[in-house]
A and B are shown apart, each in its own frame.
Chain A
Amino acid sequence: MFKKILLTLIIGALSSVITAQQTTITGQIKDESGITIPGVTIVEKGTTNGTVSDMDGNYSIKVTESPTTKLLYTFIGFAPKELVVAGRTKIDVEMEPSVAALDEVVVVGYGTSTKKELTGATSKVSGESIERLNIPRMDQALQGQVSGVTINTNSGSPGGSSSIRIRGLSTFGDNDPLILVDGVVYDSEGLNALNPNDIESINVLKDATAGIYGVRAANGVIIIETKKGKANSKPQFEVSSYYGIQQASKRLDLLNAQEYAVIKNEMFANGGETVPFANTDLGAGTDWQDEVFTTAAISNYNVSMSGGTKSTTYSVGGSYFTQDGIVGGDKSNFSRYNARVNISTELSEKLKLNSVLLYTHESRNTLPENGIGSVLYNTVNAFPTDPVISPDGNYSYLEEVSDIINPIAQMENTHNNSLVDKIVGKEELVYKINKDFDFTNRINYNYALVDTKVFSPLAWYGPGKAQNSAINEDLDPSLVEIGDSVFIERGASVFEQRATYLDLNFESFLNYSHVFNTDHTVKGTLGASVFTRQGAGLNGTAFNIPNNSEDYADISANQAPGGFLNNVGSFQFEERLLSSFLRAEYGYKYKYLISGLIRRDGSTKFGPNNRYGIFPTVSGAWVFSEEDFFTVPIITFAKLRASYGVSGNDQIPNFAYRAQLNGEGVYVFNDVITQGVALGRASNPDLRWETTRQLNIGVDLTFWESFNFTTNFFLKNTYDLLFQPDVSAVIGSYGPGGQPPIINAGDVSNRGIELELGYSTDPRKALVFSSNFNMTAISNKVTAVPDGVDFLPGASFGVGGNIATRFEEGFAIGYFNGFETDGIFQSQEEIDNADVVQQGAQVGDLRFVDQNGDGVINFNDESDKVAIGSPIPDFTFGLNVNVRYMGFDLSANVYSAIGQEIIRNYERQQPYANQLDYVIDRWTGGNPSEVNPRVTTSSTQNTVFSDYYVEDGSFVRLRNIQLGYTISKSLLEKIKVESVRVYISANNLITLTNYMGFDPDIGSAGGTLAAGVDYGFYPQARTFMGGINLKF
């Protein structure tokens, strides 16, 4: 290689000696709209002779005078241009944007690259395609946009988060990717602070090349850049707004009062009990869903200004967003104000300052959701025979089931609010040492102040309800004995908490980039990073809030005698990360690309024994369309990529390596609750990060310049999972507040294929069509569990038992484990003559499958349980279509997940609870159903967790469809407006699914192993919107 370089150098030198005749060429470079472009590289073709255009797009270059002399103009985002000098001395150039998008900038860790140069598997989404969806959270908007990224909604409530999984579930614990916004770390909850309109681009690093982020990169990295101004452009103002109404996209098919009464009578009669309804002619009764769901407003207002001078670019903006919930209206409102300033300025010729500042104020009200006791759970199970308000004026008590309460009363008595003030930003100094070296130093900060207030009024939901805080319907408070025969009232209470969180990150890195002899591109990055995260909080609860009213809901207003019952708490934590990294890249003629990186991280999550980790990655690419032998005319670009590397995960609680006295040691002496101390989590000084080794092989192809195809195959194995499995009781970890140690055990494997197809016609034509499609197929498997552990239990089914999901070797993480059913026993002979003894079986009961062949259904052990589903889809698809003709534009976004299952767990297995209307087709003597068992109040095995409660969760959803019209420029010129676009749009208009629940797009209500368990998730709304965008 070096010989070759030397040779080229000699030839170059010789040629310049021989043809010493030189001439100077000057000119200006502009884009298609006439804006000058600084920074364009101009090279005399075949030589190392080159220059760069200045701030005004002007350039000057001395070239050899020859009829064949050519100049090559290249700039990122534009198609390269080659011109023959042909004796001219002034050449002005108009560059055209690159259609093939191969020169598109892709942000990678601590630097940028282009699609052409990439060796890793990354996907990019433009801010425009996020903005267009009008979805208030970035993570929801990202669903279906890129392959390899699976997003499920944890809650459809305003401000609710999503679970983001890059290339599957790789660990038992925290599977969230590292999210960086302008280099600042965000967590999934924190994404509420980000206005999707501010996003310039999202880049997802999926493979081992994300390893530049080391110990936090194992779950992939999402890099978000916010909008920046353009140099030398006039200030451009943009005002946009939309307003919409939301409604529940689906109602469950529940029994009405008459159906309910008939079925309950049958159920009680079958159980040998008195029937509850003497008269079943009750009509429709109360439709609790009608009462609970409301039509709710959503609106967004956005103002921004961007532009730039020769040396400074800026983008500033502000927005207001507010969304009520389809359950509870303003009781589940989320609102956000935000303001942002992005400025880049050249302090001197060599020194540039990049400054990003974002301020957000958020307010969120929440209702109990996603669990037993949530508003929707109560709604589904409430009796249609009871009115919302009983004749005596109270909210009805729904007395027959102790843990189902009137959902309307519940919403009225719920007052949960959190306020978040957030300041996030970056100050970055880039020093251009010379034309090869840039030295960057920056500080990123993320400060959040979180205020929470929960007011719990005295409430009475009816006799025996666990949620009662008063002792009777007159709302009398309970009395608490604080000393011998000294009683005080326990009235309405308020809980308040103020917590602050601060991330500080100092990063320093040197970037090197040099092209040797036009063909040899060498890049290098060397850097270090210091990260700290601190948090602290103080909270208190005060009792006896006056007048049982939210108006007085403040700790200061409490009237608790002597402050009794009131209590306070606090917390604080700090964690640190110290890292250094090195990356080297070499490219030959953009044909052969190779890259290697290594990162060393020190993390306070781990003890001195294992504090530092080293994470190396190598990757390479071969652009074989550049080879002479490659002569497929329709393929204009073809690249083969491969990467392999190691990254880590340190997402565990702080100080898990040492034992602390943070257990609960509390006993009652002299009738007083007395605090002692106790061991908390057991120690594990050898704790270390979990390691992900990932192999990625990919191909990028471009057909006819306009059709892009990308595919990746990956193999991602995670080892030494950070775990807190059960340990022997003899260690003594299972007292109050005690926990077993966190250990490294267990392995998980993910294999998958990703496909991305993109097609776009020339954007300058009258009819523009663009579309992209992506598909992901992932197979997830646990390949090892800790010694002595058969499986780790996950979420439970129903109330009080039945573990339904597991982490078990040979199966997907969180797969469903239960009994397999085989129809219904149709007759007593069938039961008597069956080969398998099913204890307690009666005619009309579910027939279970004897998996272990011992002739008995073993309800008391695991031997007859099998895999009956998995929450992980086999395939996910995303499709975006955009058509523009004249002033009209139409776009649609479709997402589909196929092959996952959902556990129907929102039905309270209680005699009086309402049911879905499938029960109408239950087994009776006259209706020999093979699907739905008989109804009865007596105890049966029909309620054990079986595939009867598992449903296919596959769905296809039209997430957004939008029709817009852009008023032509000529009309607008008079009023000095550059463009006006108006549109109407609908979100979640159509969902195709067989799933009976509210919404098949469900994430997890608590932890990795609770995925796919539907407790009555807060569904996503169907929204109809109208909006306008103005530019001037």
Chain B
Amino acid sequence: MKTLNIKIFSITAFALLALTVGCKKFLDIDPLFTQDAENYFQNPGDYDLALIGAYDLLQGSFLNVWIGEIASDNSIAGGESVNDTKGLHEIDDMIHGGVNIELRQVFRWNYAGITRANYILQNKDNIDFDGKEVILAETRFLRAYYYFQLVKFFGDVPLIIDERLGVDEVQDLERTPKSEVYAQIEADLEYASGILDWTNPVKGRATKGAALSFLGKVYLYQDKFTEAASTLDQVIAEGGYSLIPDFNQLFTVGNENHSETVFDVEYSGLEGGSYDCLICLEGNAAPGFHGIRQYNGPVYGDGNSYNLPTQELYDAFSSNDLRRDASILDIDAFIAAQPNSGEITYAIGGGGHTGYYNNKYIKKQGEIGLPDNDLTSPVNYRAIRYADVLLMAAEAHNRGAGNDAKALEYVNLVRSRVNMPALASGGAQLTQEIWNERRFELSGEGHRFFDLVRTGQAADAIDGFTSNKNELFPLPQVEIDLAGGNWNQNPGY
């Protein structure tokens, strides 16, 4: 009996053991119908698909429009209440610190873009094929674009090139001096401009003109006026760009990809979205957020009353500068001018009210995306347009070699388009006039704060601005902690 029992036990034990051990392969399963990150880049199409993924992060640029304007003297945060997107209100009041959701998004999204670019560059030697150079050139353009955003906001940032890091590797990472980051940005843009053509039949892809214009801008941000002037001159001479005649038509959906377009961030209104993930949108979140709160009337659509232009900006314009009303919507004046003005209503948000709205990026009838249409505007973000190139070139010539004639030629091109009288001054006065011109031409487009900082005007222009502190935004404190706590916070924070 006992031996029988032992036999039963042994046989079963052996059988069960054989079942579980013999089936080891049973657990070796692969995910169905999805590609693995580590064995990708097997054919040319793979590179292009990954490149599309790297372009995707450009769509976070609506934050540049917000922060670049709200931080400056151009606009206030607005919104439903002071606790609605609190980070923007803190930036508006120049009381922002290391805890700021929007700044953290800038940090996160740009590094996500860099990582997607690095993923391609890390695997650039896997295979060879025709057209690979162009893909790599566009990739490096994008990496430069993302790094430029980071240095503009945060100064020194860790420079990661052609590799992806794991969680543990980040712990030993240092902040790379701004100059080295700029050197890499220049190298990437020079590489891209050497390979890309002036035009690309696909609307939205980077071109030689885009790469050179950004390179010019990067030089200007470093006060490298000679390099900036020669680079931007090349764009002006060879790029074939020109200003379109009607300033009012610059920011409409129906008028994109024209002679003034140097580089647009492309958006589509064909996909809905949710507030939970603004970076997942294919539409531009800015116009809907800039829209008039609970607006019920013609021309415009209702929105969230963000990023409201200040009275000071409105008053800065000459009253015969048509760019004033093209850039700033005076809502009460607009309503009063309508035939059915008594029926038009709108609400004032608890986050502030100036009576003005950003008229360049604003939700309009006929430019409304799919639900939720506060989030899904098809209006592109004009990252660089030719007017910007002309004004940068003018500044570079004026401040560099002192070639004021050239500077006046460029700045007056911009002024004559809007029928403003030509400038004729020179030297420091012209410098200030070019800077002012940048504000009139580019207000509402997210450049103002960085221009003020770059040109040393920020402390005078911005209420609450503290010199030697607010030139840079603070690194998100949590990012310092997550990277092992070794990074110093930016001065003053």
Contacts and interface: CB of A to CB of B under 8 A. Distances in A.
Interface string A860-887: 1110000000000000000000000000
A399 B81 CA distance: 18
Interface string B8-38: 1100110111011001101111011111111
Contacts of B56: 664-667, 676, 678, 735-736
Interface string A652-687: 001100111111111111111111111110111000
B52 A939 contact: no
A551 to B, nearest CB: 23
Given A580-B20, A799-B84, A801-B85, A676 B52 contact: yes
Contact of A734 (B15, B33, B109, B164): B109
Contacts of B277: 736
Interface string B91-130: 0000111010100100111011111101100000000000
Given A660-B37, A729-B107, A528 B29 contact: no
B166 to A, nearest CB: 7
B403 interface: no
A400 B349 CA distance: 11
Contacts of A524: 9
Given A436-B5, A659-B37, A678-B50, A736 B280 contact: yes
A675 B485 CA distance: 38
B133 interface: no
B272 to A, nearest CB: 10
A800 B52 contact: no
B82 interface: yes
B451 interface: no
B183 interface: no
Contact of B52 (A464, A677, A741): A677
Given A660-B37, A679-B115, A512 B202 contact: no
A800 B85 contact: yes
A678 B49 CA distance: 8
Contacts of A743: 167
Interface residues of A, number: 105
Give the interface residue-count category, chain B.
Answer: 35 or more
A109 B128 CA distance: 59
Given A510-B12, A673-B268, A730-B160, A860 B95 contact: yes
A696 interface: no
A561 interface: no
Interface in A629-666: 654-655, 658-666
Contacts of B296: 399, 463-464
Interface in A139-185: none
Nearest to B85: A800
Given A464-B302, A526-B12, A730-B111, A937 B350 contact: yes
Contacts of A909: 81
Interface stretch (B66-74, B224-232, B366-374, B408-416): B366-374
Interface stretch (B423-431, B432-440, B476-484): B476-484
A732 interface: yes
Given A434-B4, A576-B27, A943-B81, A677 B205 contact: no
B111 A670 contact: no
Contacts of A678: 50, 53, 56, 116
Nearest to A663: B53
A672 B282 CA distance: 10
Interface in B199-228: 202-205
A788 interface: yes
B250 interface: no
B452 interface: no
B271 A673 contact: yes
Interface in B461-493: 476, 478-479, 481-485
A733 interface: yes
A125 to B, nearest CB: 33
Nearest to B59: A667
B148 interface: no
Interface stretch (A61-69, A496-504, A598-606, A761-769): A598-606
Given A602-B27, A679-B119, A661 B37 contact: yes
Given A480-B270, A665-B50, A861 B99 contact: yes
A672 B203 CA distance: 10
A817 interface: no
Contact of A528 (B16, B164, B203, B267): B16
A912 to B, nearest CB: 9
A466 interface: yes
Contacts, number: 304
Contacts of B351: 939
A710 B4 CA distance: 41
A665 B49 contact: yes
A801 B84 contact: yes
B146 to A, nearest CB: 10
Interface in A589-639: 600, 602-604, 608, 611
| Chain A binding surface SS class | loop
Nearest to A524: B9
Contact of A463 (B35, B96, B302): B302
B170 A731 contact: yes
Nearest to B157: A730
Given A478-B368, A741-B167, A679 B116 contact: yes
B325 interface: no
Contact of B36 (A530, A661, A663, A802): A661
B269 interface: yes
A788 B173 CA distance: 14
Contact of A667 (B58, B79, B84, B108): B58
Given A466-B372, A530-B23, A735 B35 contact: no
A1016 B296 CA distance: 30
B204 A729 contact: no
A939 B85 contact: no
Nearest to A738: B112
A572 interface: yes
B482 A728 contact: yes
Contacts of B270: 480, 482, 565, 673
A130 B48 CA distance: 60
A727 B37 contact: no
Nearest to B166: A731
Contact of B294 (A436, A463, A482, A735): A463
Contacts of B81: 909, 939, 943
A468 B8 CA distance: 71
A862 B99 contact: yes
A658 B36 contact: yes
B293 interface: yes
Contact of B370 (A480, A526, A572): A480
A667 B280 contact: no
A853 interface: no
A55 B415 CA distance: 106
B268 A668 contact: yes
B116 A800 contact: no
Contacts of A20: none
Contact of B49 (A509, A673, A677, A726): A677
Nearest to A669: B204
A572 B266 contact: no
A738 B58 CA distance: 15
Interface of A: 273, 399-400, 402, 433-434, 436-437, 439, 463-464, 466, 468-469, 471, 478, 480-482, 490, 508-510, 512, 524, 526-528, 530, 565, 572-574, 576, 578-580, 600, 602-604, 608, 611, 654-655, 658-680, 682-684, 726-738, 741, 743, 788-790, 798-802, 860-862, 909-911, 937-939, 943-944
11 contacts: A399-B345, A478-B368, A580-B16, A658-B37, A665-B54, A671-B266, A675-B52, A729-B482, A733-B115, A735-B112, A801-B85
Given A433-B8, A729-B482, 11 more contacts: A439-B12, A526-B12, A666-B56, A669-B266, A677-B46, A679-B53, A679-B116, A728-B482, A735-B112, A788-B483, A800-B86
Which 9 A/B pairs are nearest by Cβ-Cβ distance?
A: A732-B115, A676-B52, A665-B53, A735-B112, A678-B53, A464-B302, A734-B108, A659-B37, A668-B266
